């Protein structure tokens, strides 16, 4: 996009973590920002925080898994600002299921698919027709993850499956948009190169009732602190990327119309290469990280 100033950006999952950093960075770039999140109190605090920084921010309580809620977000945005130019379909959750995937509950799948995949589909279906009808510049940014988007961590199947799907969906979107306009673009975001210390790893704290587990967990839910302890026990020192760094990369990608918002890092490139090499050589996936407590697989 040639100009971000005075244009309107919608960010889902905007009340915390990467979404709030996106709101801040887009606001600092001169955009009017609409933060959408299912967490009402967090959203209010996030909007207040951006106001203190002098950013034009509006909060709209939204559940991205519900198409009528996303439609209401669209309508509130257009009513308030008269237009919309950038849509960041960023809301996401980690289902946090335990044990082998063939024992996971359908509700683990339903929750992850509803937010991480249907949330993006609803965002695309609701906003793209308006982006096109406006005849102005516009852009859609869908948040994937290296986990699934590049290669899956086998012990997080729901998350990895949805994030792989987000890459494919965004590639299809890019290909189709390209055939009808040169004014509306699409990008897929891979936050990183390291993990971000956000609420994602403790999504279970706000798991909605309609996706609540039916069977009691065998092990306690994992917190970020537990994760860090597990990594250190495995001899890995946790490293983090700041949400602001990811958000800056998104702003730069909007300005340059860059599809792959992928951190430049040796680790990322090694992951891409390892999977591509395995496919090209018709080798079984030896690039997958081991599942804690898991045995060896059939070759």
Query: What residue ranges bind ligand NAD (CB under 6 A)?
Result: 12-13, 15-19, 37-39, 42, 62-65, 90-93, 115, 143, 145, 191, 195-196, 198-200, 203
- C-beta of 36: minimal distance to ligand NAD in Å? 6
Q: Which of 159, 221, 240, 287 is catalytic?
A: 159
Least distance in angstroms from the C-beta of 110 to ligand NAD: 12
- Tell which residue, 173, 151, 177, 181, has the closest CA to residue 164: 151
> Residue 92 or 157: which CB sits closer to ligand NAD?
92
Q: Is 36 helix (H, G, I), strand (E, B) or coil?
A: strand
As measured in angstroms, the least distance from the Cβ of 9 to ligand NAD is 15
Please report how close the Cβ of residue 196 comes to ligand NAD at its closest, in angstroms: 4
How do the residues of the chain divide into helix, strand and coil, expressed in percent and rounded to 5?
50, 10, 35
Distance of alpha carbon 3 from its chain centroid, rounded? 24
For residue 177, the 8-state DSSP code is: H
Residue 190 gets the label, from left (phi > 0), alpha (psi -120 to 50) or beta, of beta
CB nearer ligand NAD, residue 177 or residue 200: 200
Q: Contact, 39 vs 206, CB < 8 A?
A: yes
As given in the structure block, the two tokens for residue 198 are 């956000």
Indicate if 159 belongs to the active site: yes
Which of 140, 142, 138, 152 shows the shortest CA–CA distance to 115? 142
Q: Minimum CB separation from ligand NAD for residue 184, in Å? A: 22
Strand partners, 260: 188
Q: Kindly tell me which of 185 and 193 has the beta carbon lying closer to ligand NAD.
A: 193
**DSSP three-state, residue 191:** coil
Q: Which is nearer to ligand NAD, 31 or 196 (CB)?
A: 196
User: What residue ranges in the chain does DSSP mark as E strands?
Assistant: 8-12, 32-37, 57-61, 86-89, 138-143, 184-189, 260-261
**Which of 57, 13, 1 has its CA nearest to residue 34?**
57
Q: Output the DSSP codes for 54-108.
A: T--EEEEE--TTSHHHHHHHHHHHHHHHS---EEEE---------S-GGGS-HHH
Closer residue to ligand NAD (CB): 101 or 224: 224
Q: Tell me how far, at minimum, the Cβ of 133 lies from ligand NAD, in Å.
A: 25
Q: Which is nearer to ligand NAD, 137 or 141 (CB)?
A: 141
Instruction: Give me the active site residues, please.
Output: 159
């Amino acid at each position: 996009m040639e100009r971000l100033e005075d244009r309107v950006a919608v960010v889902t999952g905007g009340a915390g973590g990467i979404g709030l950093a996106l709101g801040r960075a887009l606001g600092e770039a001169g955009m009017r920002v609409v933060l959408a999140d299912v967490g009402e109190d967090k959203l209010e605090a996030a909007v207040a925080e951006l106001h203190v920084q002098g950013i034009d921010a509006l909060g709209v309580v939204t559940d991205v898994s519900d198409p009528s809620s996303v439609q209401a977000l669209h309508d509130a945005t257009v009513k308030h600002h008269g237009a919309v130019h950038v849509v960041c379909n960023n809301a996401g959750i980690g289902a946090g299921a335990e044990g082998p995937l063939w024992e996971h509950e359908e509700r683990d799948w339903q929750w992850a698919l509803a937010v991480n995949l249907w949330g993006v589909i609803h965002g695309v279906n609701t906003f793209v027709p308006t982006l096109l009808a406006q005849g102005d510049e516009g852009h859609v940014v869908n948040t994937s993850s290296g986990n699934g988007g590049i290669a899956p961590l086998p012990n997080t199947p729901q998350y990895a499956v949805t994030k792989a799907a987000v890459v494919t969906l965004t590639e299809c979107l890019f290909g189709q948009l390209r055939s009808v306009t040169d004014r509306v673009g699409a990008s897929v975001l891979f936050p990183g190169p390291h993990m971000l210390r956000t609420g994602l790893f403790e999504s279970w704290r706000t798991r909605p009732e309609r996706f609540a587990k039916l069977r009691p967990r065998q092990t306690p839910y994992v917190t970020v602190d537990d994760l860090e302890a597990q990594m250190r026990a495995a001899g890995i020192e946790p490293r983090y990327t700041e949400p602001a760094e990811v958000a800056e990369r998104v702003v730069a990608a909007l300005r340059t119309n860059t599809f792959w918002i992928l951190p430049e890092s040796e680790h990322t490139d090694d992951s891409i290469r390892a999977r591509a090499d395995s496919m090209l050589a018709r080798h079984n996936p030896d690039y997958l990280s081991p599942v804690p407590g898991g045995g060896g697989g059939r070759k």
